């Protein structure tokens, strides 16, 4: 740094100015600030070069002190009656051993009547520890859904040692949130949510929680990534903030703070082969948590938008088959007969490209975008159908209502056909007969062409098409027998198509999937 400063002597520094600049460099601890000082002395505008990085904080002590009182420990206990695995001996009426066996089997040895459940059955108590934080001084506490689970006894433990019983206001397993309420005789220390959308990769963050039951523990790090999908995570309704601030078991439900003391995330998961922190933790962003918390407080449950489609991702082969140019959007693999998409005219095989003005980059985007939309809203949906973009307007239903609806009723059974074996695309196929329907457990309402053999080392085998699978459509046209299947494939080859898009139903699956096979 001193060498760079000396190089600025050509800009007309006097000896006194050079001496003053050197003293400034020695007194300033952070490189970025020193560079800014030298530039100002030399008359060089800061805007002429890259922005100077914000210096690392000397200490997190002031920040931690200002918010730690709002961070709590959560103790959740579940008490269930033990199931008796040993049968009760059958004794004759009036047996002198009756009282002995009643005492032993109903209470258990050494229990002395403690822990008795309904019907004098012994009880088992399991508990978990987690973290949470107060967002309203009246007693509203936020934590993870998995921290409380189905607990029937939840206690919130404050930093001053107070313990208050909590009422569960509402839970949302989809993004793993729970809202609790406690009653306090005095206002509680509360923290506010910040705008997580303004956070950037590299920003400093601080986590406070209850790792391994140790109590209020402060860790710090940076935001490592944003909009992160967690591998194998069941939820498709959240994209997470990734941080290297140490998060361990027990941190779940605790807050992730920005440097202004605002909560920008709720710590919910770690990625670790050992179960301990390896510097990869995930937090639900405040921008996704706040609407859910508002709904839980207002209704005691969530109210997400519902489109009523089953979707899958678009790969290279499917994109080519549908004329998309590149993989994008969400491919509609099926329509819920009682869902909003059906009356709006959305069909299986459509690719949803845009929903309510928001681009759908891949299938993971759609559930989150739809779920955040208001129930009952009329939404424009742009789809690609047979190479053309069209717009449909859908009046959104409520996801929670859709999940309660019964699955579509089955239609009439297909008429039996005389078996006719054909070969195409590395498969042998037959019409569906009663014998094949029973043999492969094909449902009565399924119509199409059943695969009776898949040749090894073919694309069909690579795409996991198996014996017993039923091909329902070829390039979005139904096929009812092997002749129709082979004719459709031949027609696609004459059109110069490079691949064929098949709609395939497996006996092991409730829903069909699209598979693209090369025609070359």
pLDDT tens-digit profile of 242-255? 999 999 989 999 99
Q: Which of 8, 172, 176, 277 is catalytic?
A: 176
- Tell me the average pLDDT of the chain: 80
Q: Cβ neighbours of residue 59 under 8 Å, at least 6 residues apart?
A: none
In angstroms, how far is CA 382 from the centroid of its own chain?
A: 25
E-strand ranges in 42-196 read: 71-81, 123-136, 140-143, 153-157, 163-172, 177-182
Tell me if residue 27 is catalytic: no
Instruction: Name the token pair of 323.
Output: 């004329």
511 is an active site residue: no
What is the pTM assigned to this prediction? 0.65
List the catalytic residue out of 75, 146, 172, 287.
Answer: 146
pLDDT, tens digit, for every residue of 132-181? 999 999 999 999 999 998 888 999 999 989 999 999 999 999 899 999 99
Give the whole-angstrom CA distance, residue 361 versus residue 5. 49
Tell me which of 221-235, 295-309, 366-380 is least confident: 221-235
Which candidate, 256, 257, 266, places its Cα nearest to that of 293?
266
Q: How far apart are CA 365 and CA 363, in angstroms?
A: 5
3-state helix, strand, coil in the chain (%, to 5): 25, 30, 45
Q: State phi, psi for 358 to the nearest 5 degrees.
A: -105, 130
What is the separation of C-alpha 51 from the centre of its chain, rounded to a whole number of angstroms? 35
Q: Which of 345, 327, 321 is nearest to 514 (CA)?
A: 321
User: pLDDT value at position 107?
Assistant: 52
Sole residue written with tokens 């986590």: 207
Length of the chain: 520
For the segment 484-496, the average pLDDT, to the nearest whole number, is: 87
- pLDDT exceeds 50 at position 266: yes
Report the pLDDT averaged over residues 341-368: 92
Q: Is 252 a catalytic residue?
A: yes
Choice among 196, 199, 224, 252 that is catalytic:
252
Predicted confidence at residue 407, as pLDDT, reads 41
């Amino acid at each position: 740094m001193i060498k760079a400063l000396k190089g600025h002597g050509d800009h007309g520094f006097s000896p006194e100015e050079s001496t003053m600049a050197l003293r400034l460099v020695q007194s300033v601890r952070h490189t970025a600030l020193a560079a800014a000082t030298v530039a100002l002395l030399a008359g060089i505008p800061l805007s002429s070069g890259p922005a100077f990085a914000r210096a690392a904080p000397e200490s997190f002590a002031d920040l931690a002190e200002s918010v730690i009182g709002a961070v709590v420990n959560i103790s959740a206990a579940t008490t269930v009656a033990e199931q008796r695995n040993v049968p009760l001996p059958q004794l004759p009426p009036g047996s002198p051993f009756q009282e002995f066996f009643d005492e032993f089997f109903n209470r258990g040895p050494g229990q002395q009547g403690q822990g008795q459940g309904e019907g004098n059955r012994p009880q088992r108590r399991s508990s978990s520890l987690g973290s949470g934080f107060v967002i309203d001084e009246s007693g509203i506490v936020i934590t993870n859904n998995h921290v409380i689970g189905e607990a029937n006894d939840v206690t919130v433990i404050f930093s001053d040692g107070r313990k208050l019983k909590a009422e569960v206001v509402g839970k949302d397993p989809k993004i793993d949130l729970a809202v609790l309420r406690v009653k306090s005789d005095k206002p509680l220390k509360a923290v506010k949510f910040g705008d997580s959308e303004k956070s950037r990769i590299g920003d400093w963050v601080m986590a406070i929680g209850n790792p391994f039951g140790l109590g209020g523990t402060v860790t710090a790090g940076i935001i490592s990534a944003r909009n992160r999908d967690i591998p194998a995570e069941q939820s498709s309704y959240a994209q997470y903030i990734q941080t290297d601030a140490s998060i361990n078991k027990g941190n779940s439900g605790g807050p992730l703070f920005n440097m202004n003391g605002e909560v920008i995330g709720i710590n919910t998961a770690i990625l670790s082969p050992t179960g301990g922190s390896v510097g990869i933790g995930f937090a639900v962003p405040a921008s996704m948590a706040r609407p859910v918390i508002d709904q839980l407080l207002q209704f005691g449950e969530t109210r997400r938008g519902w489109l009523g489609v089953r979707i899958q991702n678009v790969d290279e082969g499917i994109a080519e088959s549908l004329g998309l140019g590149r993989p994008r959007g969400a491919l509609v693999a099926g329509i819920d007969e009682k869902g909003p998409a059906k009356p709006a005219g959305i069909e299986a095989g459509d690719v949803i490209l845009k929903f309510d003005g928001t681009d759908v980059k891949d299938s993971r985007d759609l559930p989150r975008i739809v779920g955040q939309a208001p129930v009952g809203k009329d939404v424009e949906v742009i789809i690609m159908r047979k190479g053309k973009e069209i717009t449909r307007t859908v009046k959104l239903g409520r996801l929670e209502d859709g999940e309660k609806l019964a699955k579509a009723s089955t239609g009439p059974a297909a008429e039996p056909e005389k078996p006719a074996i054909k070969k195409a695309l590395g498969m042998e196929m037959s019409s569906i007969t009663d014998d094949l329907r029973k043999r492969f457990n094909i449902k009565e309402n399924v119509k199409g062409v059943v695969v009776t053999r898949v040749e090894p080392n073919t694309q069909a085998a690579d795409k996991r098409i198996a014996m017993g699978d039923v091909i329902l459509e070829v390039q979005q046209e139904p096929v009812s027998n092997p002749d129709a299947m082979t004719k459709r494939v031949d027609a696609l080859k004459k059109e110069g198509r490079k691949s064929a898009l098949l709609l395939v139903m497996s006996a092991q699956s409730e829903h069909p999937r699209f598979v693209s096979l090369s025609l070359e």
